[in-house]
Amino acid sequence: MRSPAKLGSSAVSLLRAATESIMKTSVTGPVRVRFAPSPTGFLHVGGARTAIYNELLRENLGGSFILRIEDTDAQRSDAAMIEQICSGLRWIGVQWDEGPFLQSDGLERHQQAAQQLLEQGKAFRCFRTSEEIEAARSQAQAKGETLRYRDFFAPPSADEEAQRLAAKEPFVVRFRCSDDSLHFSDLVRGEVEFPAGSLDDFVILRSDGSPTYHLSVVCDDVEMRVTHVIRGDDHLSNTPKHVDLFRALGAPVPVFVHLPLILGSDKKRLSKRTGATSVEEFRDQGFLPQALYNALGLLGWSPGGDREIMSRKEMVELFTVERINSSAAIFDRDKLSWLNAQYMSSLSLEEVAKYASPFLAPLGLDGLEGESRQRLMAALELHRSRAKTLEELGPMLVPYFQEELVYVVESCQKFLSQESLPGHLEALAARFAALEEFSPEALEQELRQLSEAVEVKAGVLIHPTRMALTASKKGPSLFELVATMGREATGRHLANFVGFLGREGSS
């Protein structure tokens, strides 16, 4: 057992026996969890995964999932950015119960908390400038020492404080941190302990009176009665500060779940340099939300079996925080592509069509009705297993509706060198046109009969016909293709292609 902490080995095996058949967790609900992104203008995939684990825990144990926007830095936030995060979450399928709340709305409450700490002597006013502290710090560092504020600067005396206050000197409020060792339980890391003296008196109120992040998160987590703090690994080192604050505020300390970071292919923190970083980008590149959810959910968490394709519902059933990995993971786009292809093939046709629609619109394939609509759906069915993304799917459907295709001479060399081919294709077109039933079976029979009559292999007719209809060497089974294309377009494309062969062949 990775956590909680170290148990005796007999206790471990007992626990294992109990959890073997059914995935159990030591965590009991109902829980109150929260996802607290900063409004950066997009939903980062790392954030999306954090949100997913938040929701999995809530779904699994019951309780509430609170969405809170960490907009302490006023510059960074506006309504559009907040909406962006919400729509990103909605798209990927994460549902929250409360919010979105804005952290900035708690400003007064945060300031009150600082005031309370001040009155209780758990915080003090610091009149030193950051330059002054910085200078002392670099001086100490030059001597190879680490400077802690609290070892170098004494808080001002009551007299001095009153004097400076009267003189309206600017000050920050610093939290008087504990000098004991601080430990907390983290469901991913186990018991984490920070030795005595590893904290310093940190700022909780800036000189302009605004609360810093540390104060705000703790106040809000207290206010919202958060039981489990699920967040990125990068906050692990900040956690002792938070624990100290929770205690000072007289509030229960929540359980922590620190998620390992998602890395780019360069093993660095996922950034723009290595490709897409936001869920919106993946959406725009033609990935299905189900696939992204699946990929993200299984990045850093595994139910233990061989499962690779799992729906949100299945994850909810099997999810336990204890099985979240503790090491950082590189996001693998190839695997996402594979997953996406799996979902494109297995989802209902209607659903794929729904998600494909934004990619079809620019190609003029939207708003089709009646027979055209039916043709589009049939074509979609024929091509869905051939595309890895919705973006790739669009161009494959165009030939079914385009008036005239553009053939590339280089790809048609083989056909151009066959003198008798145009005649054969005309014969084939005539046979197709005369067909009563435009079905794959009938079409195939017709083509094979012709190939026998003119004494060529079926492939000699099949390949140029595919080229004629799609301007491509690749594609679905020819007879399915022709049947879906329909009598009219088939005849038109075939005639055009014969014309093309005539023009290019003679020149």
Angle between helices 349-360 and 370-383 (to 10 degrees): 100
Site string for RNA, 89-108 (x = CB under 7 A): --------------x-----
**Of the ranges 257-265, 313-321, 407-415, 492-500, which one interacts with RNA (CB under 7 A)?**
257-265
Applying CB under 7 A, does 463 fall inside the site for RNA? Answer: yes
The order of strands in the sheet holding 98-102 is 98-102, 63-69, 31-35, 228-232, 255-259, 182-186, 190-194
In angstroms, give the least distance from the CB of 30 to RNA: 26
The residue among 2 and 247 lying less far from RNA, judged by its C-beta, is 2
The residue from 80, 142, 474, 506 that contacts RNA (CB under 7 A) is: 474
Q: Helix or strand or coil: residue 331?
A: coil
Is the Cβ of residue 328 or residue 353 nearer to RNA in the bound state? 328
Q: Which amino acid is at 166?
A: A
Which C-beta is closer to RNA: that of 63 or that of 128?
A: 128
The answer to whether 387 touches 393, Cβ cutoff 8 Å, is yes
| 13 lies in the binding site for RNA (CB under 7 A) | yes
Cα separation, 46 vs 328, whole angstroms: 11
Give the one residue of 1, 398, 442, 456 binding RNA; rule: CB under 7 A: 1
Q: Does 19 bind RNA (CB under 7 A)?
A: no
354 is catalytic: no
Quick one: DSSP state of residue 233?
G
Name the strands in the sheet holding 203-205, side by side, starting at the edge strand that comes first in the sequence.
123-126, 172-175, 203-205
Which residue number, 303 or 486, has a Cβ lying nearer to RNA?
Answer: 303
Question: Which residues ranging from 317 to 346 are in contact with RNA (CB under 7 A)?
Answer: 323, 325-330, 332, 334-335, 337-338, 341-342, 345
**Amino acid of residue 473:** K
DSSP for 68-131 reads EE---SGGG--HHHHHHHHHHHHHHT---SEEEEEGGGGHHHHHHHHHHHHHTTSEEEE---HH
Give the whole-angstrom CA distance, residue 281 versus residue 84.
12
Nearer residue to RNA within complex by CB, 10 or 507: 10
Residue 343 CB, nearest approach to RNA (Å): 11
Should residue 449 be labelled a site residue for RNA when binding is judged by CB under 7 A?
A: no
String of contacts with RNA for each residue 259-298, x by CB under 7 A: -xx-x---xxx----------------------------x
Phi, psi of 283 (to 5 degrees): -60, -45
395 binds RNA, rule: CB under 7 A? no
For residue 44, CA distances in Å to 73, 87, 113, 282, 337 come to: 18, 12, 31, 11, 18
- Dihedral class, residue 122 (left if φ above 0, else alpha if ψ from -120 to 50, else beta): alpha
Cα gap 472→295, rounded to integer Å:
32
Nearer to RNA (CB atom), residue 340 or residue 496: 340
Please state whether 424 falls in left (phi above 0), alpha (psi between -120 and 50) or beta.
alpha
105 or 308: CB nearest RNA? 308
Strand, helix or coil for residue 324:
strand
Q: Which of residues 135-174 bind RNA (CB under 7 A)?
A: 137, 144, 146, 170, 172
Which of 268, 272, 414, 473 is an active site residue? 272
Binding residue (CB under 7 A) for RNA from 250, 304, 362, 370 = 304
Q: Applying CB under 7 A, which of residues 108, 306, 350, 403 lies at the interface with RNA?
A: 306
The verdict on 50 binding RNA (CB under 7 A) reads no
Interface region with RNA, contact rule CB under 7 A, candidates 48-56, 158-166, 230-238, 246-254: 230-238
Q: Which of residues 20-39 bind RNA (CB under 7 A)?
A: 38
Active site residues: 272
